[in-house]
Amino acid sequence: MDKILVTGGAGYIGSHVVERLVYLKKNIFIIDNLSTGHKILINKKATFFFGDITKFNEVNDFILKNKISSIIHLAACLSVNESQKKPKKYFKNNVLGTKNLVKAAIINKVKNFIFSSTCAVYKDKLKVVNEKSKLLPKSIYGKTKLQGEKVIVNRLKGKDINFAILRYFNVAGASESGKVGQITNGDQLFKNLAKAVLKINPKINVYGNDYNTTDGTCVRDYIHVSDITKIHILALKSISRKNKSFILNCGYGKGISVIQAIREFERQIKKKILIKFKQRRKGDMEKIIADNKQIKKVLGWRVNKNSLKKIVRSTIKWEKIKQY
């Protein structure tokens, strides 16, 4: 049986991917240092190892010992805002960590490698981007992810390892099971809104209202975490069977502004949210929307939860559960 390692498997997206793989009765292993992951999100049916991907010997020994055949690399520092303040932390985790995993994959003859990248690798203000659009990251986070992509392409090219680079757009929402969801706070708008609307007098900070968009706030292509999870399953199946590698955008192709997101939360919770506008944050992109023709063609992916209403509903539901 294929032995699949999920780095960052105790994190937001990682826990959803693991949940789905376990449901499919796959043999799953997790490496996570719990810096942004959480014990409560560790799937009991997976083999968990408390480890750090920036330490090569730890990673290599674990892959060798457990005879890992596929790696889904999700472990990363993710905050655009924090990356501008702590660049060394981001280069160490996102670049060095990826180099270590790729090196270990080559040494141990891993067959498949999936890497979670981001739309932040693209040039700002291109609006709709396809996989061949100009790459010019605005943030340190985006720069580290692009370097991670280059490590994979350059070092795995010509090797007997198939790879998929998945450029996430903005992932939000939570599993319908109610067992996994987003816990870590930070830049994530939907997480912060869900916490806000459950208070008596909800309020939210919005960074920038002078962008060249319809309402002056940033526009993002939000995709439900369940659809992102499905993409990983399809990508692993595709590279395993077809012996091909690819880079794909992961988004719905629909732009939603910060204000539009806030209004949907207000509708569902039936409360007004006090908006406090603040200065733009360094590294934030104005508008980014996915051209998803390629992913539909390559993976046969079909959108399941392309609805702002569904994403918001699942986000609020998870926040209400208060398991953590």
Domains delineated in the chain: 3-172+221-250 (3.40.50.720), 189-220+253-290+305-321 (3.90.25.10)
What confidence score (pLDDT) does residue 89 get? 96
What confidence score (pLDDT) does residue 202 get? 92
Mean pLDDT of 6-13: 97
Q: Which residue is it, tokens 């009765």?
A: 25
CA distance 324 to 315: 15
Task: Write the pLDDT tens digit of every residue in 137-188.
Answer: 999 999 999 999 999 999 998 899 999 999 999 999 999 888 999 997 677 8
Task: Write the pLDDT tens digit of every residue in 268-306.
Answer: 999 999 999 999 999 999 999 999 999 999 999 998 777
Residue 3 has pLDDT above 60, yes or no: yes
Burial 137-148 (b: 16+ CB within 10 A, else e): bbbbbbbbbbbb
Write a three-state SS string for the chain.
Answer: CCEEEEECCCCHHHHHHHHHHHHCCCEEEEEECCCCCCHHHCCCCCEEEECCCCCHHHHHHHHHHHCCCEEEECCCCCCHHHHHHCHHHHHHHHHHHHHHHHHHHHHCCCCEEEEEEEHHHECCCCEEECCCCCECCCCHHHHHHHHHHHHHHHHHCCCCCEEEEEEECEEECCCCCCCCCCCCCCCCHHHHHHHHHCCCCCEEEEECCCCCCCCCCCEECEEEHHHHHHHHHHHHHHHHHHCCCEEEEECCCCCEEHHHHHHHHHHHHCCCCEEEEECCCCCCCCEEEECCHHHHHHHCCCCCCCCHHHHHHHHHHHHHHCCC
Phi, psi (degrees; rounded to nearest 5) at 131 = -65, -15
- Percent of the residues in the chain that have a pLDDT greater than 90, as a whole number: 88
The amino acid present at 207, given as its one-letter code, is Y
Mean pLDDT of 244-256: 96
Residue 163 contacts residue 115 (beta carbons within 8 Å) = yes
Residue 244 has pLDDT above 80, yes or no: yes
Residue 117 contacts residue 149 (beta carbons within 8 Å) = yes
Positions marked catalytic: 141
Q: Please, which pLDDT band fits residue 323 given cuts at 50, 70 and 90?
A: low
Q: Please, which pLDDT band fits residue 322 given cuts at 50, 70 and 90?
A: low
Average pLDDT score, the chain: 94
What confidence score (pLDDT) does residue 201 get? 84
- Of residues 124 and 201, the one with the higher pLDDT is 124
Q: Please, which pLDDT band fits residue 324 given cuts at 50, 70 and 90?
A: low
Q: Please, which pLDDT band fits residue 91 given cuts at 50, 70 and 90?
A: very high
Task: Write the pLDDT tens digit of every residue in 101-116.
Answer: 999 999 999 999 999 9
What confidence score (pLDDT) does residue 184 get? 77
Q: 318 to each of 141, 183, 193, 201, 203, how far by Cα in Å?
A: 27, 9, 12, 20, 19
